[in-house]
Chains A and B, each alone.
Chain A
Amino acid sequence: MSASPKIIPIGKLLRAENSRFVAGCRVKELETPALGSLVKVKLEDQSEIYGLITHILINDDNLVRQLVSGVSIPSEYTADNRYNRNLPVEIHVLTVGYAQNGQIAHRLPPRPPLSLDQLFLCDDADVRQFTSQHGYLRHILRLQDQPIEELLAAHFAQVKPLQTTEWYKTACEKVITLLRDDYAQLTKVLDVLSELETE
């Protein structure tokens, strides 16, 4: 996939495995990535690994603990802690596919990205192209440690305006197909999607 001028770098990889990876970014870079956003990592061989942000983690450190326990925090201390702190914000990404020689596959990549590889937020065209098929949704539904209904709703809220009504209907059908044997989980997902539709 060729790089688009609108593709925004949002961090660099801290650690990775085939099915998920974690990138770190500075607090001030945290304005663009959001839960459910489609992101990608470009590898040296020009292939790209796509993922969905499932989790954004802001770790504490001793300084923050001390500041929090203080009576009052001067605003310059807060600003300094956010812009100059050494601990990065962690962006947890679920791998949902990859692109090789221009061909998108909704399977796990042969190899994970490497540390310090750059993480980019996908632009609209990229999102439209990657999500045109619905196979990648299965990766979301296998998550065990995340509220998948919230993740799905966040993802659909971002993709729905870029796709057709038919796309959304098919996506819902796919989700129902994959989750229909799990009544409790499916009804939670549909509750959230119903909220999304009526907003």
Chain B
Amino acid sequence: MMENKLSQTHNSQIGFVTGGGLEANLQVRLTVPPQSVQEGAFVVIDSNNWRFYGLVTDLRLTAIDENYANQINAQRFTPQLAELLNQQTLYTNLAVMPVLMMETGPDVDSPEYAAWREEHPNESAPITVKTIPSHHAPVKLADRADIATIFGEENNQNIFRVGNTREQGHPVCLDLDKFVQRSSGIFGTTGSGKSFLARMILAGLINYDRASTLIFDMHNEYGIDTSSSDTGQGVAGLKNKFQSKVQLVGLGADTNIGQQRPDFTLEISHKDITTEDVLQLTEALNLKETTPTTLDALENEFGDNWFTQFMNMRVGAMVENEDGKLEPAPDSVEFWARRAGVHKAAAEGLRSKLTRLFNRPYLKNAPASNGLSDITNALQSGRHVVLSFGNYQSDLDYLLATNLITRKIRDTWEKATNDFHSKKRAEPRPLVVVVEEAHKLLNREMASQTIFSTIARELRKYYVTLLIIDQRPSQIYDEVMSQLGTRISGALGDEDDINAVLSGLPGRGGLRGMLAKLQPKEEVLMLGWGVPMPIPIRSRRYDSQFYKDLLGDEAEAPDMKKSSRMLGF
């Protein structure tokens, strides 16, 4: 028989319901000083065998009669009388957004409990709010047990603590399994701790083995140890902490990641580059409207060799024919353009613009190793890949490499999923693709062309989801934003960014203010499909204590462990 958890709310009453509804939020008369409750506080309301869970979205000072508020009563009356007067005439109203409700049944000690339990043999679970508490229902701040009921309790498996409530410091957890079921986003202005939060969640995913992760590490923040730009203190990289579970991959043959050698390097074969990959670079390469036609012609004629063939063509190369006249050389762009029926200027213009691609050292006709395959194998075997861009940190490199690699890997996962469904092969392992500066890949202009918007829309159809990290969510295509299951946002200054984070969610009005007033550091708002209800939290710190909690003794730096072993300890 289930224990009635709900009698365990130990916090004292802070107010009572006076009105409101589902649409307009509940009105709660506060019976404690307003400073004891903050916007975003998680409250519980017990009413007739139901417990309601809600969020404080506003606090408003009010009075029975405005005259009582418009004078300082203590100056007119004695302090005692003024205090008594103020207590009864001036008060604070809370706006509480009801989010969840759960049937609790009568008190466990009451005679009705046994009959109720017989009618309700299964453990109650929170459901989306469908009704409201009665007038004068008591309102309390949620205690640790309430928060655990909603967000789960850390279990060293899928329930992972990401922070604590702001007022009382109760742990708030994230269900990692649910987190990877749909694409997610971490947002916040520069310095709001996005990458720390992302590292923390990735460490949880890696440690508890809930999914493979492919991290496009544009700024070398995730793989190797770095130092905080604010405090100068060392920040552990995932490779250091998880060793062989994490593969460091460098783009290009001679790439070092900081001072560290990667586990292997990635060179991309020309054959892996599709015309779609080039089209995604339309803006970066300033390509013309004629480009798709030219690329189609190239692909039709040369197949997956088109890139090498086009690279080898020369612009303006002429030869003298038998009549002594100059005509396009057989290896010239013009020669091919005439043959393929493509406008000469368009073809030559494209060839010139693609020179930037042809010069990328990591694009090889015949790479020494198949780095793409190595990455896929590592991910399929349950390891995690951090791809560093080394010396190739331009937008062009980032756009090309992320799209190309992600498309290839997603194709592999799609095939594995189809095999799983049709041939009863092993179920594919969930894969999370981590993308920084996501607006470069998912903006309005590009979203329809990139593989990332496809992944975001597919939810988890092929077991691949995105974790996008960005400071300008308003620049990301609305359709992609609305598909994000879990959204974790730090402080955002811009109104458009705030609206973008809240797009497609109920109760946006109340959440908007909450998001706008987050502390610049360490405070984040978790919301979306992946969390039972929106909640602002103080995020867990990504530091040595975090790894001690996560890994126990293993958190000790591997170098020190090695030294200890060498010394015979």
Contact = CB atoms under 8 A, between A and B. Distances in A.
Contacts of A169: 80, 84
A194 B68 CA distance: 16
Main secondary structure of the interface of A (DSSP, over half): helix
A96 to B, nearest CB: 22
Given A172-B84, A173-B84, A183-B67, A191 B89 contact: no
Nearest to A182: B65
A197 B89 contact: no
B116 interface: no
B64 A180 contact: yes
B84 A176 contact: yes
A190 B68 CA distance: 12
A72 B263 CA distance: 125
Interface in A174-199: 176-177, 180-181, 183, 186-187, 190-191, 193-194, 197-198
Contacts of B76: 187, 190-191, 194
Contacts of B420: none
Nearest to B71: A187
B505 interface: no
B546 interface: no
Contacts of B78: 193-194, 197-198
B69 to A, nearest CB: 11
- The interface centre, meaning the residue of B76, B80, B81 with most chain A CB atoms within 10 A of its CB, is B81
Contacts of B84: 169, 172-173, 176
Contact of B68 (A177, A183, A193, A197): A183
B24 interface: no
A173 B88 contact: yes
B81 A193 contact: yes
Interface string B61-93: 000110110000000111011001100110000
A172 B81 contact: yes
A166 to B, nearest CB: 12
Contacts of A197: 78, 80-81
B75 to A, nearest CB: 11
Contacts of A177: 88
Contacts of A183: 65, 67-68
A191 B68 contact: no
A190 B81 contact: yes
A173 B67 CA distance: 19
A191 B77 contact: yes
B68 to A, nearest CB: 7
A68 to B, nearest CB: 42
Interface in B28-73: 64-65, 67-68
A163 to B, nearest CB: 15
Contacts of A180: 64-65, 88-89
B65 A194 contact: no
Main secondary structure of the interface of B (DSSP, over half): helix
A193 B88 CA distance: 17
A173 to B, nearest CB: 5
Nearest to A170: B84
Nearest to A168: B80
Interface in B82-118: 84-85, 88-89
A45 to B, nearest CB: 40
A172 B88 CA distance: 11
A169 B81 CA distance: 8
B83 to A, nearest CB: 10
Contacts of A186: 85
Nearest to A181: B64
A194 to B, nearest CB: 5
Interface string A106-119: 00000000000000
B88 A194 contact: no
A64 B76 CA distance: 44
Nearest to B68: A183
Contacts of A193: 77-78, 81
A82 to B, nearest CB: 40
A190 B85 contact: yes
- The interface centre, meaning the residue of B64, B68, B77, B89 with most chain A CB atoms within 10 A of its CB, is B77
A187 B80 CA distance: 14
A181 B64 CA distance: 7
A187 B77 CA distance: 9
B77 A190 contact: yes
B220 to A, nearest CB: 65
A197 B81 CA distance: 10
Nearest to B86: A176
Contacts of B81: 172, 190, 193-194, 197
- The interface centre, meaning the residue of A177, A181, A193, A194 with most chain B CB atoms within 10 A of its CB, is A194
Contacts of B64: 180-181
A122 B78 CA distance: 30
A193 B82 CA distance: 11
Contacts of A194: 76-78, 81
A198 B81 CA distance: 12
A177 B84 CA distance: 10
Given A194-B78, A197-B78, A197-B80, A176 B85 contact: yes
A173 B85 CA distance: 8
Contacts of B67: 183
A190 B86 CA distance: 12
A85 B77 CA distance: 45
A190 B81 CA distance: 7
Nearest to B85: A176
A150 B17 CA distance: 38
Contacts of A187: 76
- The interface centre, meaning the residue of A190, A193, A198 with most chain B CB atoms within 10 A of its CB, is A190
A87 B152 CA distance: 86
Contacts of B88: 173, 176-177, 180
A92 to B, nearest CB: 28
A167 to B, nearest CB: 13
A164 B11 CA distance: 33
A198 B84 CA distance: 17
B65 A181 contact: yes
A45 B164 CA distance: 71
- The interface centre, meaning the residue of B64, B65, B68, B84 with most chain A CB atoms within 10 A of its CB, is B84
Contacts of B85: 176, 186, 190
Complex A-B, nearest 7 residue pairs according to Cβ-Cβ distance, in ascending order: A194-B77, A183-B65, A183-B67, A194-B78, A197-B78, A190-B77, A176-B88
Interface of B: 64-65, 67-68, 76-78, 80-81, 84-85, 88-89
10 contacts: A172-B80, A176-B85, A180-B64, A180-B65, A190-B85, A191-B77, A194-B76, A194-B78, A197-B78, A197-B81
Given A176-B85, A187-B76, 10 more contacts: A169-B80, A169-B84, A176-B84, A181-B64, A181-B65, A186-B85, A193-B81, A194-B77, A197-B81, A198-B78
